Every structure is written in C-alpha cells, then in structure tokens.
Chains A and B, each alone.
Chain A
C-alpha cells in the first residue's frame, strides 16, 4: 500500500523522518526504529530488501563505530583498556544507528517509488521555486532525461568496449596509468557520441512541441485519504518526538 501513496507524501515523510533521526537520543532512536519497522512492514519489504540496502555500507558502519569507540574522551569502560570509554560506546552506537536509519529511510522511499514518480513528486514540490525564477518543469525534464539515458549510455559503453577488445585492446593489464589512458580513450568516444545523441534528441523534442516552462502530465498527482493519514501520522510522530524529552 505504501507503493500507491502520493510520491510527494513519501518524499516529505522521508525528509521529516531524516531530520528527526539526526536529532535522536537513545530513547527516541528506539521509538523511531519501531516506526521505521512499521513502515517497512506496511511497504511489504522483506528483511532481505532492507539488508540489501545496508550491506554495501557495512564497512562504513563498522569504521564509524570503531572511530567513536576509540577516540572519545571519558570514563574508561575497562580499567585495562583506557582508550575505550563509556561515552565512546554510546556515541558510537547512536551515530551508527543514525546512519543505518537514514539508509533504511531512503531505501523505503526508493524501493516503493519508481524513478518517474520520484521525478514528478519532486517537480510538484519544487513548483514554488518559480518565485526565484527556477522552473521545476525544466528541472524535472533534465532529471528524467538523465535517468532515461543511463541504460542507453551503459549499453553504448559496453559496445564500444567490446569493439576495442575485439581489436586487441586489453583493459585488464598494464599499470594503473596505462589502464586509465585506455579507459579515457573509450570515454572520449562516448562523450562525442553522447553530444551527437543530444543534438538529435533536441530536434526530436522540438519536433514534438517541447518548450521550456509549464506542461501537463498523464498522471496528475492527487492526495487521497491514505496520503493525508500517512502525512499527518508522520508529522505528528516527528513533532511528538521533538517536544518529548525523556
């Protein structure tokens, strides 16, 4: 059901929760963890999905924890090992938790929202920027075109690489500098081709009547009961945590 929420609600909720996470003390952290867990359950995300989001950062989490553990002044935890302090342990735990919670929070957003929904959500949230002459429509087109061309350019990169491999290029051997040079020759071809592509794309877009500024969309976002409920619940929860001091 989280999948079907208005992307604006999900983006705002993620921002609000992130700010709350960054100010949390241990008691609030426990409450926030329960709240995030509830969110994950409602999104029907499995443990595996959450773990997949956290796994690439395990090394970073460990490093963060150890740095705090060893480099915080305070009362020693063990008399024999004076560098490890009580304060270090608690700060290490809370900071590591904060980062993990932020990642889970962002994963909840990206795993339940398609890139297009995210772009349209951001576009609508940024509409007030018109006041300072920034067009959210133009920003949205830029972001979605960039996303649209990621797979195309990746494919092109592989094709170029294969073409060079088949002519005897070897990207795996040689010193780092040599390998970098070979890769950069590949990149320059890719850049030139991408400019050519951009040229064609501009003409195609103009041909389809593109002009800067306001446009309409196939899916106009509409806030429903579920959207308001989630928004109010999240805001209420965050406000309660902020005023609460245990």
Chain B
C-alpha cells in the first residue's frame, strides 16, 4: 500500500508550492488513475512515489518504507517501477535485451536470472523475439513497450506510468492500454498519470488533480458520474464517453471501453440489432 500524508513540495524554499496538502492512498493491486490538466503537478507527485523527489513536508510511505529514509531507497526503487513519458530518454541499452538487463544488473542478479527476467518481461508486453533488435530502430509504440519491459524486469509491485500513450496513434494507444490492464490483472498495482479522460475507464479509482491539490477522489464510476464538477475543472469527458456512460447508466449492455465515434456507431447498431428481436420496444425507448 502506498500512503501519501499531507504532502507539500517546493523546488526551493522561496518558490511557490507545486504540491500542497496532498493525501492519498493506493491499495495493493489497485488500478489508480491520476488525472488533471497540464501543469497541475501530476508528474511531480508521481516522482514522489519512488523517492525521485522527497517531500518538502509531509510523508510518502510505500509498504511501510518512508521515501525520506535513504537506507530503504534500494528496496523502494525495486518496489515502485516508473515508466516515463519519453521512452527515448529512458532506454539505456543499444539492443533490447541489453536495455532490459540494465535493471536486474543493477540489482546484481546472476546472469541466468537476468536472462529469465528479460524473456519473461518481453513475453508479458508482447514483443517476444525482439531481444537482438537495436533500440533506435524500433517504432514509438515498440520503444514504449521496451521501456515498460525494462521496468518490469525489476519485478515491481507498483508501476507508475507517466502519460504512457502520448504521441501514439490510436492503435498504439490501445496496445499500451491493453498491456497496462494485463499487468494490473497479474497483480501489479498501477498508477496511471494522464490528462486524457478516455484513459481512466479501466481504472478502479481516480484521483483528480488541479493546481497542486487533489480536488476529487473516488471510484472511477463515482468520479465519471460527476460530469458537471469535472467540466468546471476543465476535464469534461469526451462526448462518446459521456454517451456510452449514460447508456450504461440507463441499464443498456454496451462496452465501457469505447473511445472513437466509429466504435460507438458499431456498438450502438449492434445493440439495436440484438434488442430488435425479442424486446424491440424497450430497445427503441432505451436508445
């Protein structure tokens, strides 16, 4: 469990606070989304979770370890993996397997164990067979998968993703989001930092950040339901999400994960086709 208690952070004593009175809790195995407009302090908060930044006041505990305690830094970094926004700035290896072996190598694991972890991580993110590929020849999406696998090879209990889908095409986005969901299903707690309302649908819990504070927190259903409040914070859900959400609210059997208008059209027409048989009338009134 990660516990954040009354956290305040300033870059220097005179500077205005970037984060203030932040309280939050992330349970084991939870999928938490941290959402907010650009510049609200999401990334700064994320960097507190594995001790890259230390609170100016207040505390962050990860499984009982305080991030201020230098003696637990090694275990902390092992427990909380961090995938940054730009994969080009976090891939250290010239080849995929070399990059993936960086973390386990830092943990001074024996070669055989490193090899096992490299294989497993590649398999988990779905790029098995990429071992020998030079990292600079990979596509944007593949680079991100390598960055994720590189952190995965440390076998973290928590994974922080900072804007994991930025600059990707829709197919790439879906691929990354699927990997994140799969990782969560395997028991790793996820902290997914994003400014995109479309991406929080998979999460169990949402923390909304504005101007360095947590302004709204709750289950994803709860938070998404408060459409009006979100709009005030500049976080109105896109129309498709809102439409599908309202359809589900009214008891219709539609998928939650629909992101594009095309998908929504397909989903709604298939819903109408399904319903047009036995309960024609109720379908009409529902849609």
Residue ranges of A at the interface with B (Cβ–Cβ < 8 Å): 114-116, 144-145, 147-148, 151-152, 155, 197, 200-201, 203-211, 214-220
Contact = CB atoms under 8 A, between A and B. Distances in A.
Interface in B120-165: 135-136, 150-151, 154
A208 B89 contact: no
B236 interface: no
Nearest to A141: B92
Contact of A208 (B88, B135, B150): B150
Interface of B: 47, 50, 52, 74, 77-78, 81-82, 84, 86, 88-95, 97-98, 101-111, 114-115, 118, 135-136, 150-151, 154
Contacts of B81: 207-208
Contacts of B74: 209, 211
B241 to A, nearest CB: 31
B101 A218 contact: yes
Contacts of A211: 74, 106
24 contacts: A115-B94, A116-B93, A116-B98, A144-B93, A144-B98, A148-B94, A155-B136, A200-B90, A201-B90, A205-B90, A206-B77, A207-B52, A208-B103, A208-B106, A209-B103, A210-B102, A211-B106, A214-B108, A215-B108, A216-B111, A216-B114, A218-B98, A218-B105, A218-B111
B136 to A, nearest CB: 4
Contacts of B84: 200, 203-204, 207
B77 A200 contact: no
Contacts of A151: 136
B188 to A, nearest CB: 15
How would you classify the secondary structure of chain A's contact residues: helix, strand, loop or mixed? helix
Nearest to A198: B89
Given A215-B108, A216-B108, A144 B94 contact: yes
A218 B97 contact: yes
A104 to B, nearest CB: 25
Given A115-B94, A205-B102, A209-B154, 10 more contacts: A116-B93, A144-B98, A151-B136, A203-B52, A204-B90, A208-B150, A211-B106, A214-B108, A215-B105, A217-B105
Nearest to A148: B94
Contact of B118 (A201, A207, A218): A218
Nearest to B153: A208
Contacts of B93: 116, 144, 148
A147 B94 contact: yes
A115 B134 CA distance: 11
Contacts of A208: 77, 81, 92, 102-103, 106, 150-151, 154
Contacts of A215: 105-106, 108
B236 to A, nearest CB: 31
A152 B154 contact: no
B111 A220 contact: yes
B86 to A, nearest CB: 6
B193 to A, nearest CB: 14
Nearest to A145: B92
A209 B89 contact: no
Contacts of A147: 94
B106 A209 contact: yes
Nearest to A199: B89
B173 to A, nearest CB: 22
A219 B115 CA distance: 8
A210 B118 CA distance: 17
Contact of A197 (B89, B103, B150, B151): B89
A155 B88 CA distance: 11
Given A207-B77, A207-B151, A208-B151, A217 B89 contact: no
Contacts of B50: 207
A208 B104 CA distance: 8
Contacts of A115: 94
B14 to A, nearest CB: 22
Contacts of A114: 94
